[in-house]
Amino acid sequence: MAISNAPLWPFVPVAGWSRRFVRAKGSYLYDDTGRAVLDAGGGAIVINVGHCRDAVIAATAQAMQQLTYVTPPFETPERTMLVSKLRDNWLPRGIERVHLSSGGSEAMDAAMRLARQSHVAAGRPERRKFIGREIAYHGTTLTTLAAGDHAARRQGLETLFPDILRVPACYPLRAPGGRFDPDCGAQAAAALEALILKQGPETIAAFIAEPIVGSSGGAIVPPDDYWPAVRDICDRHGVYIIADEVMTGFGRTGRNFAADHWQLVPDIIVSGKGLAGGYMPIVGVFARDEVVLPLEDAGWPLMFYTYGAHPAACAAAHAVLTILEEEKLVARVAGLEPEFRAMLEDKLKDHPHIAEIRGQGLLWAVEIVRDRETLARFDEAAQITAKVVAAALERDVLLYPGGTGSQRDIVCMGPPFIVTEAELARIADTLCTAIDVATGRKPGP
Ligand SMILES: Cc1ncc(COP(=O)(O)O)c(C=O)c1O
């Protein structure tokens, strides 16, 4: 047998991510030495009902006993049950069409295809331009990387991207008018309208944004006037809104969708990490009827992915949503928010390297800076985020690294919705210690 120096896993090694996990239960992962690690990031902000719940496993197994695979356009009981539940209990009124893929990147790509095909089929072929925002991540296909603004993940690929326009993020901490400028929402919305007018409204297909920015920015919540203003602008100019709620949907921020905080009804919502809570790969593209009807009338499919709407994934998602409903976990997330905020503030509000503690529901982040007066960041080479995550993992708490490279030193938290108050306190405490270790205020490990 050939001897290879290549690692068995992962494809390209990631510094600090070297534990071997062999099982999980509830809010904990267990490594091969039996050590329990508190899953404070819910993996990549995915786990919501907790790990390895019998009801989800049983529903998934049962679906697999019934049916191995059938191409996505065919009805199966798992597919129709899931879509009924989504329409009855989860999706905003007016959003009725459900397309299912197996990952967020694929789903965002499908949403962009849908927006473009909808305009073309409706007789608006000139609407071909998309507008994304700075500090955004929408996935790793070439089109979704182009729509986002994640410097680290775009490296070496720039020549391959389609042209996508970009407006500033709505980022209160670093608002152009100064820290927490109350006009920053209105200004960011005005920048969007100015770009639409400059380009010609009749050429714009869609505006793509996360209603609350996930890990690329670190739980950036816009002021309350931002999304209503954006909805108004997009309505006036016939521009679809594609809300990327891959990370924020299904209760993560204390509402079904982050858009619900502002009664925003997008034209297309993409959401999925929480849809099956990590049990199976499934992400939804949810659209208003008016967006889909032109394709239907033209006889165009929205081409499926082979593994989209897999019956076992639909069954897992249905079981996860049932747990969220029966255990009222979205309300629990909203209820835990003030307590977790207070815990984080108690530990970190006056910390010399913390610029902001921010979040909503159970999606939280801290932004670490070298100088909290000027908001100057540490050098990229200092690798602060990686050091914080490593120091916390030493203490058996798994955080989720955020940032984009240029936007950096963001550490995210997204624990399962079943997390206890004692566990939240442990997360806040460990985060504080890990930041002290990473910034040299305390000796490591
Ligand atoms: C907001 C957002 N959009 C898209 C994606 C891409 O999803 P996936 O990794 O499932 O392709 C992610 C993944 O983290 C995300 O957070």
Could you report the per-residue pLDDT of 183-197, keeping only the tens digit for each? 999 999 999 999 999
What is the 344 CA–ligand 1 centroid distance (Å)? Answer: 26
Q: Is 179 helix (H, G, I), strand (E, B) or coil?
A: coil
What is the 237 CA–ligand 1 centroid distance (Å)? Answer: 28
Q: Is the pLDDT of residue 1 over 80?
A: no
Q: Is the pLDDT of residue 160 over 80?
A: yes
- Cβ–Cβ < 8 Å for 151, 353: no
Find how far residue 234's CA is from the centre of its chain: 23
Check residue 15 and give its pLDDT: 78
How distant, in Å, are the alpha carbons of 32, 45, 242, 312 from that of 50?
20, 12, 29, 18
Half-sphere exposure of 357 (CA within 13 A, CB side): 23
Residue whose entry in the numeric block shows the structure tokens 């089109």 = 143
What is the 104 CA–ligand 1 centroid distance (Å)? Answer: 5
CA–CA gap between residue 194 and residue 364 (Å, rounded): 32
Q: Is 444 helix (H, G, I), strand (E, B) or coil?
A: coil
Q: Is the pLDDT of residue 398 over 80?
A: yes
pLDDT in tens, 296-344: 999 999 999 999 999 999 999 999 999 999 999 999 999 999 999 999 9
Return the ligand 1 atom nearest residue 103 CA: 10
Which domains, from first to last, does the chain contain?
Answer: 21-52+330-438 (3.90.1150.10), 54-326 (3.40.640.10)
Which pLDDT band, with edges at 50, 70 and 90, does 153 fall under? very high
Among the residues of 259-407, which ranges form H helices? Answer: 289-298, 311-326, 329-348, 384-394
How distant, in Å, are the alpha carbons of 152, 272, 340 from that of 433?
27, 32, 17
Q: Is the pLDDT of residue 51 over 90?
A: yes
Return the ligand 1 atom nearest residue 105 CA: 11
* Substitution site in 141, 150, 247, 275 for ligand 1 pocket (most atoms within 8 Å of beta carbon): 247
pLDDT in tens, 341-361: 999 999 999 999 999 999 999
Tell me the DSSP string of 365-396.
Answer: EEEE-SBTTTTBPPPGGG-HHHHHHHHHHHTT
Which pLDDT band, with edges at 50, 70 and 90, does 17 fall under? confident
> Mean of the pLDDT values across residues 153-178?
96
**Ligand 1: residue whose CA is nearest its atom 4:** 138
- Cβ–Cβ < 8 Å for 36, 407: no
Environment class of residue 195 by beta-carbon count within 10 Å: exposed (0-12), middle (13-18) or buried (19+)? Answer: middle
> Mean of the pLDDT values across residues 12-39?
93
- pLDDT > 70: percent of the chain: 99
For residue 250, give the amino acid letter.
Answer: F
Check residue 445 and give its pLDDT: 62
Q: Is the pLDDT of residue 2 over 70?
A: no
Return the ligand 1 atom nearest residue 136 CA: 1
CA–CA gap between residue 102 and residue 396 (Å, rounded): 30
Q: Is the pLDDT of residue 16 over 80?
A: no
What is the 148 CA–ligand 1 centroid distance (Å)? Answer: 11
- Cβ–Cβ < 8 Å for 147, 164: yes
Return the ligand 1 atom nearest residue 273 CA: 10
Q: Is the pLDDT of residue 201 over 70?
A: yes
> Mean of the pLDDT values across residues 87-103?
97
Which pLDDT band, with edges at 50, 70 and 90, does 14 fall under? confident
Check residue 442 and give its pLDDT: 77
**Which residues have C-beta within 8 Å of that of residue 185, sequence separation ≥ 6?**
170, 222, 223, 224, 225, 226, 229
Check residue 206 and give its pLDDT: 99
Check residue 157 and give its pLDDT: 96
Which pLDDT band, with edges at 50, 70 and 90, does 258 fall under? very high
- pLDDT > 90: percent of the chain: 94
